[in-house]
Chains A and B, each alone.
Chain A
Amino acid sequence: MSAIPLSWYLGLAAALFAVGLFGVITRRNAVAVLMGVELMLNAANLNLVAFWRYLRPGVMEAPVFVLVVVTIAAAEAAVGLAIVLSVFRNFHGVEVERLDLMKQ
């Protein structure tokens, strides 16, 4: 298992995070934005697990923390999808640029 160094995992997580961020910033579809957010959360999870496995394999806080993050991500996805549904009903579409009520 030591054949794969820690930095590879970190590189993968960073790439995943960048892909998620790119999706959040560029996608017009709100559902796709939510998917980007999920990617970013999972990139952070991957980091946590990698650091735990390589640096502090004895302690159990990190896997617990990751489980909490997964749970909250599920809840967030549920709430987010509900919001997207509500947006679709009110704005007749799920394009993010329609949501500029704050400017007015």
Chain B
Amino acid sequence: MIPVYLVPALPLAAFILISLTSLRKRQGLAPALLIAALAGSLGLSIALLVGVQSGRIASGSQFGFTWMAVRAIDPPLILRFSFLVDGLSALMMVVVSAVALLVQVYSLGYMRGDEGFGRYFAFMALFSFAMLGLVTSGNLLQTYLCWELVGLCSYLLIGFWYKKPEAASAAKKAFIVTRFGDVGLLLAVLALSYSAGTLSFTGLERAISAGTLTPFFFGGSAFLTVIALLIFSGAAGKSAQFPLHVWLPDAMEGPTPVSALIHAATMVAAGVFLVARTYFIFQAAPMALGVVALIGVFTAFLAATIALTQNDVKRILAYSTISQLGYMMLALGAGGMAAGMFHLTTHAFFKALLFLCAGSVIHAVHSNDIREMGGLARRMPITALTCAIGALALAGIPPLSGFYSKDEVLAAVQNSGYISALVGTGGQAVVLALALGVVFLTGFYMSRLWFVVFTREWHGHGESCTAHESPFSMTGPLVLLAALAAGAGLFGHPVGTLLGDASPESGATWLPAVSALIGASGIWLAWLVYWVRAYVPGKVKSPFALALYRGSQNNWYIDAFYTRVVARLVLGTAAVVAWVDRHVVNGMVDGVGWLAGRAGAWLRRTETGQLQWYAYVMVGGAVVLALLLSTLVVSR
């Protein structure tokens, strides 16, 4: 028996040691401790994965104890604290601990000399614990706890350089925007706890398949549809799906390794994981799945169009991440749970790789703006090569991993009954066309990034002339991740069997070839524009094209819309509430005080200081009492 609880417990121990002892002040020891803990977690995770894959470890919950029990309600609510070991959690454990380990090694080089070095590794340890706790959790409330904890770590790490006002406000934005989704998730958790009497995933699945759920609003499947959509709202916040996607690009204010680990590979994939984890609920509510697919494909397309024109290297990657997360949601919504999780796995590797490459470049050039970069391939050969592998994998060029996972997603969309049930076969064709369009856009914007940063001779000023390759602690993880990004496509079939989906989706035979061709044509167009310079973007004068360009560069004005309209609406409501509080609630409290004051002022007049007045009042009181007593006596 492999103790699964050790997987999150090791980084937790590292967090406690680093944050509570003077270790955080020792440059060498804090990261060493965390790296050792994560290596332990990774070893255990791989052992678990191999065990689950071969069937030697039975799927099911481990290490459970009764956490809390509420017997006064009907049905009684029994919550068990437990860890769930199955294909899904084992796969996520390996992905999370592997990427986390490589990112920590990379951070050794990237964060060297930063004044918050120890604090950085303490937060990273806390994040690793929370994320591993999230994927191993056996019940929904435990998941929710870890869910909020990763959100907190995300906040802390985006605002890591908290003296920069942009970083502080980006952290706040991320926290608040994801909160909008989390409210839905919390409502779903509460509703399920009332209607099912349990929150453990196995218990919920049993209750739903047996139909013993007691819906307390709507009936039957409508209840489950609402629950599924509420869960999805939480997932959409965390996984930056439209309309809650606006926080992720701003989250790039954090250190680049943080972006790689939290905002590309793991935490933002937590939403996808949550949908996969509660997939039995979604399968019982097919309409919700259709909605997931539509929002996924819309997000994927929207973010890809924005990524085309960004100039900040990390923002390009952030929009690309949103787009790919949309792809995963699309796969899940189309019914291809294994396809979505497979894409999550490959994406974790190649997107973490791309972010780390970007970090390596930023580390060398000290700028995020691709217009200040150029010709870096000669000065940073390892970074350039690994970045090319990552970009090609993302663009879905065979035989790299992205090709296989993207193909499974497209096949799932083509075969999906959920999408056609919601929008008809014509709508399904549109969704497929949009998904293929995303492949083209992805090929274009990734190649644009690579060509602009790494090729052509650099004639401008700035540090691109003096840049040199990063230290080994940074290039080492790049090479390992590049190997994973290139080779992870081999895991497609094993991932399918692991998640209980023995035959991976296979669409029409033309689909893989067409998607690879479309991706390649995107690269070809970028090659024409940014390498050959057959077309120079600056010479475009058509007002329509320029309007499109400005729209794309400004996130289609969604952020502006939020600050102008939504934020104003919220602030307006807040102003009304504040007025009511100040004048009605406060008025009542003040009124009580005013009344006491007036009564006192009035009663004060009776205090004349005149002895005879007191005697007079005393006698008057005695007379009144005597009269009262006499009436009592008489009436008796």
- Is the A/B pair a real complex? yes
Interface residues of A (CB under 8 A from B): 21, 24-26, 33, 96-97, 99-104
Give the residues in chain A near B615, CB-CB below 8 Å.
24-25
How many A-B residue pairs have C-beta atoms within 8 angstroms? Tell me: 24
Q: How far is the CB of B616 from chain A (nearest CB, A)?
A: 5
Shortest CB distance B373–A (Å): 86
Among candidates B607, B608, B619, residue contacting A25 with C-beta atoms closer than 8 Å: B619
Does the CB pair A103–B611 fall under 8 Å? no
Contacts A/B (CB < 8 Å), 20 sampled: A21-B619, A24-B612, A24-B615, A25-B612, A25-B615, A26-B612, A33-B612, A96-B611, A96-B612, A97-B610, A97-B612, A100-B608, A100-B609, A100-B610, A101-B609, A102-B609, A103-B607, A103-B608, A103-B609, A104-B609
In the bound complex, what is the Cα–Cα distance between A25 and B613 (angstroms)? 7
- Tell me the smallest distance from the CB of A80 to a CB of chain B, in Å: 13
Specify the main secondary structure of chain A where it touches its partner.
Answer: helix
Chain B residues lying within 8 Å of A24, measured Cβ to Cβ, are: 612, 615
**A96 to B615 alpha-carbon distance, docked (Å):** 12
Collect the chain B residues with CB atoms within 8 Å of residue A100's CB.
608-610
Chain B residue with the shortest CB-CB distance to A26: B612
CA distance A104 to B616 in the complex (A): 20
Contact of B616 among A25, A97, A101, A103 (CB under 8 A): A25
Nearest opposing residue in chain A for B612, CB measure:
A25
Contacts of B616 in A (CB 8 A): 25
CA distance A25 to B619 in the complex (A): 10
Question: Closest CB of chain A to B323's CB: distance in Å?
Answer: 83
Give bound CA distance, A33 to B616, whole Å. 13
Distance between Cα atoms of A102 and B613 in the complex (Å): 13
For A104, list chain B residues within 8 Å (CB): 609
Specify which chain A residues have a CB less than 8 angstroms from the CB of B607 in the assembled complex.
103
Chain A CB within 10 A, most for which of B608, B611, B616, B619 = B611
Least distance between A102 CB and chain B CB atoms (Å): 6
Q: Which residues of the partner chain A approach B619 to less than 8 Å between Cβ atoms? A: 21, 25
Q: Mark B594-622, 1 if CB is under 8 A from A, else 0.
A: 00000000000001111110011001000
Contacts of B608 in A (CB 8 A): 100, 103
Q: 8 new A-B pairs (CB below 8 Å) besides A33-B612, A96-B610, A100-B608?
A: A25-B612, A25-B616, A25-B619, A26-B612, A100-B610, A102-B609, A103-B607, A104-B609
A21 to B612, CA, bound (A): 10
Residues 616 to 632 of chain B near chain A (Cβ within 8 Å): 616, 619
CA distance A101 to B609 in the complex (A): 7
The listed residue with most A CB atoms (<10 A of its CB), out of B607, B608, B610, B619, is: B610
